[in-house]
Chains A and B, each alone.
Chain A
Amino acid sequence: MGKFGGSMKVLMYVVLWLFPLMGYANTQQVELDKLIAAPTLTLKCTGDEQGLDIPLAHRWNVKKVTLNLHYVSSINLITSQSQLVVKLNGMPIAQTKLDALSPDVLVQLNLPVQYLSAGYNRLSFAVAQHTESKGCEKGCSPDMWTTVDLKRSVLAIDYDNKAVPVALSSVGTLLFDPKVFPQAEVHLVTDTQDAEQLNPLSIVASGVAHHFDYRQVSFTVSSKLKPGVDNILVGKHAFVQGLLGDAKLALADHEQGGYVSMLPLPQAGGGQDVGHALVVVTGKQVDDVKLAAETFASMSTFPGTSSLSAYEFKLPKLREYSGRELIEPGKEYTLKALNFPTATFQGGNAGSKDINFRLPSDFMIRPNLAAKLTLHFAYGAGMRDTSAMNIVVNGKIVKGIHLGNSDGASFQNYVIEIPTRLFQPGSNRISFATELHPPLKECDLMLTGNMFLTVFDDTTFSFPDMPHFVELPNLELFMLSGFPFTRWADGYETKVVLTETDDNTLSAAMNLIGLMTQKSGFPLYAITLDHALTAAWKGDFIVLGSPDRISAVLGGKGLPFTKGKSAVPYALVRDWAAEPVLVSSVQASQLGEGQGYLMQFESPYEAGRTGLVFAARDSKNLLSMSEALLKSEVQAQTEGELTMLDLASQEDKAIVKSFKPETTYTTGKSGKKSFWQSYLYTHPYVYYGLVILLTIGFAITLFAVLRRYRKKRVAGRAV
């Protein structure tokens, strides 16, 4: 092949990539590793099958799906007896020999669209692998493998947008669908000069983000409609009617309360974009708009009408520390409730399954308690007694359950007490990893039908209560769960302060609110937006803007890159083992294009409360920064007290620098804290010194008392 071969390969790639782009309205391309968060799938033994789910949005009218599959197989496989089968929702759609002479294969497959449906579609890869044609073969010899390179395997989906039904039921299914990928975009239209609209707007943005679940969604805000994306119009009747009138649309009669309506999106030159929607959230008074916004944020697939009038909205009594995947201490959850349906592990490479959940971010984990996992499970007969199920908590094996009964067994209430020290505040994972082995003798045919283990979803899990106490600043917790702003799931006691009134700043704020919503899993009904912050504010707050404007809002607080002199940290990495050494440079400088930062600190107005600053050079950069914050790779690097972002220095990725805090503070349950407790925690040497000083003082005072007493006793008198 040589050079020519290499060039041909590149050319083939180009063709493969360009081909699907021709002829369709929309094409989405995605590397498979984005769909499963793993770089490869390795298929082992004589027979194995693994797969991933392809999300298809309800609003897509899929025309063509092409899979450019890249896989590598063992060169020891016998080509005539080894094959790879690609299945779509269980139906074999393609098969190929695993050729030992060309083990590194790139193949293009067209996935038949008739087997696809909106939602998740299972794409699986099954192999039959053999290394011996005569005589006996080991069922799982190490040279029986085929690896699918997910990073280099690309799925291209060609689709048109379906016409959006003019019904509010579309809000819960079609419009804000988490299966849209790689990301979603929504435009919010409001009277940006009317500060009263900010709170309903934030509720709407939060509701949209909540509908999108985990899917990245970015917002733009302006006072005009934006073509090509779904628009949500939020405002009082007068503003809404004015805007609709321009588009020759009319708002239905509506006397009181909130009003939510679904309309086709008008196009600039007249006509309608049926592929996108215009949702109207309005009311006569601002309270009515808020009522409509709350209703909109909570809507599911009902109602089926194009509009609704809302008269009242009641939230259930919220508890602190509730939200997406959050475990409530002391409560017993079934696995079903933890999004883990009854799972059967089968075959020689049965793999593992996880339960993911979160603990409150400010949990102070006591190491001597135990979480309780009460397992209900069964396993098949005829397995070798080396079979086992391992319980893994956050990557650490905590218990191996021996599946040693050759007749199979069924267990109820198999209790495993897991020390709480293995858990952490925030995200946690419990995995069931199985090793199912057949009782094979040499030359036995490997039959895997009876090799199964089922974990029933009525298995229960409970976690004991813990005290709430956490050391801040810690931006990692913000990125993990929106903490501390989502201590109350609805954002109660949190204020977002905008230092500018322009569209970009507002858009950046909506992105931040959307981000927090998706982290906590609950619409932020109670978050408040404002343009100013006073000392009377006793809750947590977020301030967005340029460093100088933020500093002014915070009464002249020293922030990096403000006018005049300011302290800017730099990290000097010493070696692998040591923490980066921070140096602080006092300088007169400003943020550049594509630069910004997040900074967390204790509220100057209330001990134990948190302030978060989101700063960029100007509002345009602020919006870019907010969009960057939505990316998982940026979130993963955000930690400590200060995270600085640079989007301009490298074209393809953001540079993220995080700095650990020099001074810390603490916060407890409900954001309350004792001043002394916090001070002594953050100044441990003062604590140790106090212990010694008080003990010395005690000893000297005791001495003074007992010396007089002793004199009397030595004289033989009673005291």
Chain B
Amino acid sequence: MLFRYLFILLILLPIKVFALIEVDITRGNLNPLPVAVSPLAIDKNSKDNFKKILKKENLGSEISKIVENNLKQSGLFNPLDKDAFLQEPDIANLKPRFEDWNLIKAQALVTGKVTFVDEKLRVEFRLWDVLAGKEMMALAFTTVPSNWRRVGHIITDKVYERLTGEKGYFDTRIIYISEKGPKTNRIKRLAIMDQDGFNNKFLTLGNELVLTPRFSPTNQMVTYLSYFRNLPRVYLLDIETGMQEVVGDFPGMTFAPRFSPDGKKIIMSFAKDGNSDIYTMNLENRIVERISNHPSIDTSPSYSPDGKYITFNSDRSGYQQIYVMKNNGKNVKRISFGSGLYGTPVWSPRGDLIAFTKLHKGKFYIGVMRTDGTGERLLTENFYQEAPSWSPNGRVLIFYRETKTNAKGEGFSAKLWSIDLTGYNEKMVETETDASDPSWSSLLSN
């Protein structure tokens, strides 16, 4: 009986339970992350050797400048002023004093060193989490000294990937049409450059009009439209050897070429008797296959990253709109329903979005929409702009923009611009000449 009473008393005893307090953090700031890029340390011997070979006073500083510039251009990082750095590069590389870097509000720190080993350039670099006081990444690689700019891009890619969770896009190239001369008599040449505008090279002489160059997935081949002997046809160019060939033997005009994701096919438009349809040509056996068959203008085809679908634009509804179909031409679905005309659809390398050019009320827009046509977002608006091309990570778009001419027909220019998916980080890409029709390569190093 006593035990029963005691048991009841025990049950009645107030037991205090402290529930764990939970606080939901659903907002943050979208400010660029403050990053300190310390100049890469370099010993005197290596410095002298690189000075002889590359004519660069301090290669460590030069490489760190490339990293810094890339990070800044991405819009996601805020590289801090080097004058504020308290620690010397050689010591920072060994053991950073996190208090010093914390003091200048750096949240991440890049350190490293450059050495001249066996006629080669060896680079070691580390990424540090300043607030946690720990190393996030350490890598080293060796290459020929002439690749020093690529070294900077590769470091940026690795830093970018580690801090954002997605692949970088800095060790890439852009192929484009270099333009020169008055608007009525433009000389257009095929040109290639690094994504930051350096190492520009011309691939054609400018004797014939060239348009819409596109990289192959391996970046070795380029397909483009050339008006050789005034006959517009799709060509294939091997960048390394310089060899060119016509794609297919079509009895008419072929245009808007693009590689399939596996690089085995070229998809393009073929126009005959006022009708234009989409065709593919297998590069291994040269078999041509008709994909679309409609008495309207079907053009600008682009494969999905898995190669199962194709997006293209067509005026089959009366106005130029974007469509998606299976890679065999079946199940054609219209996906753009907004007001205005839609063109140049390009499937994102991520597979989630389609970029396009839109013409509405006399203005041109570059925008993106989901692959089912929902979630249309217009990123930028201008007098004339078109031909978006995705960065390999699907975060940035490059396109070209033309300016208005004055009453005398002067003042015309065409420049390359880039914008990220947020629509905020819009920047002009520096080129030696006027430029149009850009196409972004995939990452050169994986």
Does B associate with A?
Answer: no
